[in-house]
């Protein structure tokens, strides 16, 4: 990797981060970004990630700068649909911070930033396509699909893990994994008619559920002491807890599932190149920067971050009626609009 290649790749991340640090008003997009420009854990994580990246590069020479505008594709047709372009599928059900969609059709979010960085590593530009799930990649003309869960993407192969899917508890206190007994009988804030509400109902934690119309209100209640915990999609919670220096992850209620990039298993060339690109992004710190930007420095979710000993009953029709929809974020509009029953809507506008 030349110094120019590294500098250009970091430029993608730094421009996005600069936008975050420069906003101060209160529109939906601005509220989304300023939620991560707080002192403490989010800023420290971002600084650490940037330091790791910047220490690996130096200023380009004049010759490198002149040549820097020309990409060197590492994969070409027929292994991608269009030469010079990585066609990326974005699952329409993805929620903030994984995907933030604007009314004019623009996209932002963790999945989007990772896709840009991946394409840069592959020497390609990016084109985005909306898909229902990873199984629609071929019919939608996608080369890859972002945000795919291992073991839940049909016939597609998932490579390049950069995230984890889980439902998690947040509390006022240090980040870590609490004991089951610490949650027993406590009051837990949830979004009404959400997947998280269903999971809590099915658990043997005997906790008192207190529901809110959106997760913003639930986190505000946690901050004020009205509830002891909030249970929600781990990444939506990570996004919101960045705005509260004293709120942190307390452990997931279910086992984390790896999230990565779905690739057609018959496309060995693309699969290998994507895997190598993710290895490079992990080594050079680009993924650290993006994780810090969108997740506020929350630790990766592993089996060690799951609360142990929680027993779940089987799903019943009554449970399904409580809510079984995907976690979503409103305000900074996610792939879902928040109107679907069961969504954990987070209104962060204004």
CA–CA distances in Å: residue 234 to residues 95, 96, 194, 266:
11, 11, 13, 33
What six digits make up the tokens of 322? 């409580």
Buried (b) or exposed (e) across 110-122, using 16+ Cβ within 10 A?
A: bbbbbbbbbbbbb
In the sheet that holds 257-263, the strands lie side by side as 125-131, 85-91, 144-149, 257-263, 157-165
Check residue 21 and give its pLDDT. 31
Residues in the chain: 350
Give the whole-angstrom CA distance, residue 313 versus residue 201. Answer: 9
Give the whole-angstrom CA distance, residue 250 versus residue 186. Answer: 13
Helices (H) and strands (E) in the chain, counts: 12, 12
Q: Which H/E stretch holds residue 239?
A: helix 234-241
Q: Which H/E stretch holds residue 249?
A: strand 247-252
Kindly give, in sequence order, each residue whose CB lies less than 8 Å from that of residue 11, ignoring residues fewer than 6 positions away.
none
Find, among 216, 254, 176, the residue nearest to 230 by Cα: 216
Check residue 341 and give its pLDDT. 32
Check residue 70 and give its pLDDT. 62
Check residue 280 and give its pLDDT. 96
Check residue 316 and give its pLDDT. 56
pLDDT along the chain (350 residues), means of 10: 41 40 29 35 47 42 47 94 97 90 86 97 96 90 94 85 96 97 97 94 96 95 98 95 95 96 96 97 95 90 97 70 48 41 41
Backbone φ and ψ of 171, nearest 5°? -145, 170
Task: Tell me how far apart the terminal alpha carbons of the chain are, to the nearest angstrom.
Answer: 42
């Amino acid at each position: 990797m030349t110094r120019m290649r590294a500098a250009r790749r970091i430029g993608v991340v730094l421009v996005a981060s600069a936008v975050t640090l420069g906003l101060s008003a209160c529109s939906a997009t601005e509220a989304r970004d300023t939620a991560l420009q707080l002192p403490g854990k989010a800023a420290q994580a971002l600084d650490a990630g940037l330091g790791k990246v910047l220490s690996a590069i130096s200023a380009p020479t004049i010759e490198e700068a002149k040549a820097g505008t020309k990409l060197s594709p590492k994969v070409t047709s027929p292994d991608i649909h269009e030469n010079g372009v990585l066609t990326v599928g974005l699952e329409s059900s993805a929620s903030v911070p994984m995907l933030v969609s604007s009314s004019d059709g623009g996209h932002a979010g963790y999945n989007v930033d990772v896709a840009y960085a991946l394409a840069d590593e592959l020497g390609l530009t990016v084109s985005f396509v909306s898909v229902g799930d990873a199984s629609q990649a071929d019919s939608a003309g996608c080369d890859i699909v972002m945000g795919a869960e291992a073991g839940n993407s049909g016939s597609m192969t998932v490579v390049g893990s950069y995230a984890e899917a889980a439902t998690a508890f947040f509390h006022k206190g240090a980040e870590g994994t609490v004991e089951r007994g610490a949650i027993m009988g406590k009051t837990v804030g949830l979004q009404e008619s959400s997947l998280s509400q269903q999971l809590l109902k099915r658990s043997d934690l005997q906790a008192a559920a207190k529901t809110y119309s959106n997760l913003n209100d639930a986190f505000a209640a946690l901050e004020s002491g009205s509830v002891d915990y909030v249970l929600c999609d781990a990444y939506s919670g990570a996004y919101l807890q960045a705005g509260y220096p004293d709120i942190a992850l307390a452990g997931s209620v279910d086992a984390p599932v790896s999230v990565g990039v779905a690739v057609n298993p018959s496309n060995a060339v693309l699969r290998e190149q994507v895997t190598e690109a993710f290895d490079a992004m992990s080594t050079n710190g680009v993924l650290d920067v993006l994780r810090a930007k969108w997740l506020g420095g929350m630790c990766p979710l592993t089996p060690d971050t799951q609360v142990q000993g929680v027993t779940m009953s089987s799903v019943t029709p009554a449970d399904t009626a409580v809510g079984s929809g995907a976690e979503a974020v409103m305000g900074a509009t996610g792939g879902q609009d928040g109107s679907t029953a069961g969504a954990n809507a987070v209104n962060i506008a204004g």
